[in-house]
Structure 1
């Protein structure tokens, strides 16, 4: 390992420790439950601290726009820590999905205007993309855009599953552009204009706030001039990798809580964790988590340009797409498996409203659907 690599590793460890320290002081499951039912859907004081003292919202935004110029691996570190406690924040929707969409659009004016408030945490953004089918295909969009002169467009349609879509200060939208060879475009929607309706959507996973965004000839400004589909492919690869890290954080904590419980729960005069059958199950879960973690980190290295994915790779398949897809599948299956085993080992208490096990189970299933499943998306181009 070179000196530069050692320095980067040290910086990442410090970032993880700092985020973990802030969450230990200012977050808990009691606060998470309260924040999930609040008007904002998250603890605004906690988010302000994470942005102001740690700079989590600025990590993957270029320095010229008020960011820190870090990479996907740094975003993963934050997501992993947030995932441990299922902490609701606008991080995934605003700091990752929306911010990276703006970065990849290569529109200097839009970036100078929109990215600094996102980086400083004084404003949040979201990306309205998919329709009711929830496929998040990069060649498909929930909206259609009609050019109305002088750089303005009218957008119509309804996007579902929009992260923090009813509370975000800035709404970006993906739309088909009429009359431009079915190009996909990125648009900034004027949320105060007529024809914009944002509605919170009740979800099984209360720690993940979603909304629908309905537009009826709503005024919007196009960001960038090129077809946005290639950039959208890159954005989805990146958000896959960051979501995978969040899933690993949740799986790791769920497994730790389950192991701890197995040492305390006494049956037949001895802790249930001492039974060989449960020892084998815990060992298998540990292997699942660590194997998925390796795939998750590898995806970030490939996306950040620090490596190539292991294994066979056809020339027609982009390295970033393959690595992100592997991380997506591995981490989804791991969290789903660990959450299910957590409930089984805890027994009846795990399905009570007061216990946290059902929250991990719900997060596992909601995350498995978020941004589409590999079999229904055009992930490999």
Structure 2
């Protein structure tokens, strides 16, 4: 017997994705990521996120609420902006922890990562991390001592002792992996869009770089990678047993897009001002996170 699969998000997911897309566009005006990724005041304040209820967008009550597929759609739109605010960790924490939902401010969690723990947005003032996700119990803790993560500069994380780790159920771990991958997908789409715009404007030999066959082929490959990542995440959100594999496949495709974006920008792709490295670094951390979650929960 064949089992049907609805690949579309629910109305909650559609409305959530549209709202977040509008929030990102209004807040950033789609300015270059480098213009705001390291600012002390991000283009979207936490107060505006909380007042609109985005931190509670993942909460399920009485069996009704966002699905994993919905979270993928929302995380994808947020990832396009590459905004340094802890929306996604907080959304996940408050979805899976009653203790976290009682907190008015942002909440994050600690992930095992290469003999250490990574706490996304651990350097954000006033943020707490939750010790348990998906089971009853757990507490909110203040940030432990640690060193600032030097890879994903947007997430402003803290690396600390491996003993400081949030306990998660297998289902929660799969959703975390999917959401991190979906955020990466949004970032890859942004890199592709920026690359297309760049090759339209950049000229060589009196012609736009984008008119060259080799450049067209590279960007076509990037577009295929984005579509492949999207398909994988939809599949993983509908088939729990495929969640980790789908997330890691999608993140690998996003890394491919980042490499192509760097190439199509020429030498400028390696400069700090262009900002391609901000999503790229995020993809690299997401890959380690997904792999680490599968090791523990797969």
TM-score bracket for this pair, using the shorter chain length = 0.7 to 0.9
- In structure 1, what is the equivalent of residue 207 of structure 2? 270
> CA 1:79 to 1:6, structure 2 compared with 1: closer, same or farther past 3 Å?
closer
Q: What 5-or-longer segments of structure 1 have no aligned partner? A: 103-110, 135-159, 175-183, 219-227, 303-319
Distance across 2 between alignment mates of 1:334 and 1:252: 11
Q: Which has the larger radius of gyration?
A: 1
**Residues 13, 74 of structure 2: 8 Å contact kept:** no
- In structure 1, what is the equivalent of residue 128 of structure 2? 170
Aligned residues: 288
**Residues 165, 213 of structure 1: 8 Å contact kept:** no
| Most deviating of 207-216 and 123-132 | 207-216
> CA 1:173 to 1:116, structure 2 compared with 1: closer, same or farther past 3 Å?
closer
Shift of 1:186: 6.4
Shift of 1:92: 2.6
- In structure 2, what is the equivalent of residue 87 of structure 1? 83
Shift of 1:8: 5.9
Matches within 5 A, 1:114-193: 114-117=100-103, 122-130=104-112, 133-134=115-116, 160-167=117-124, 169-173=127-131, 187-188=138-139, 190-191=141-142
Residues 1:198 and 2:145 are matched in the alignment: yes
Distance across 2 between alignment mates of 1:244 and 1:336: 11
Matches within 5 A, 1:205-354: 205-213=152-160, 232-302=169-239, 320-321=240-241, 323-354=242-273
From 35, 56, 61, the equivalent of 1:58 is 56
**Residues 33, 275 of structure 2: 8 Å contact kept:** no
- In structure 2, what is the equivalent of residue 361 of structure 1? 280
- In structure 2, what is the equivalent of residue 177 of structure 1? none
Q: What 5-or-longer segments of structure 2 have no aligned partner? A: 1-5
Question: Greater strand percent: which structure?
Answer: 1
Q: Structure 1 length as normaliser, TM-score?
A: 0.65
Shift of 1:251: 0.9
**Residues 75, 242 of structure 1: 8 Å contact kept:** yes
**Residues 184, 279 of structure 2: 8 Å contact kept:** no
Distance across 2 between alignment mates of 1:133 and 1:26: 37
**Residues 9, 73 of structure 2: 8 Å contact kept:** no
Q: Structure 2 length as normaliser, TM-score?
A: 0.82
Shift of 1:350: 1.7
Distance across 2 between alignment mates of 1:189 and 1:214: 17
Higher relative contact order (CA 8 A, sep 6+): 2
**Residues 165, 198 of structure 1: 8 Å contact kept:** no
Shift of 1:249: 0.7
Q: Secondary structure at the match of 2:154?
A: coil
Residues 1:43 and 2:42 are matched in the alignment: yes
Shift of 1:162: 1.0
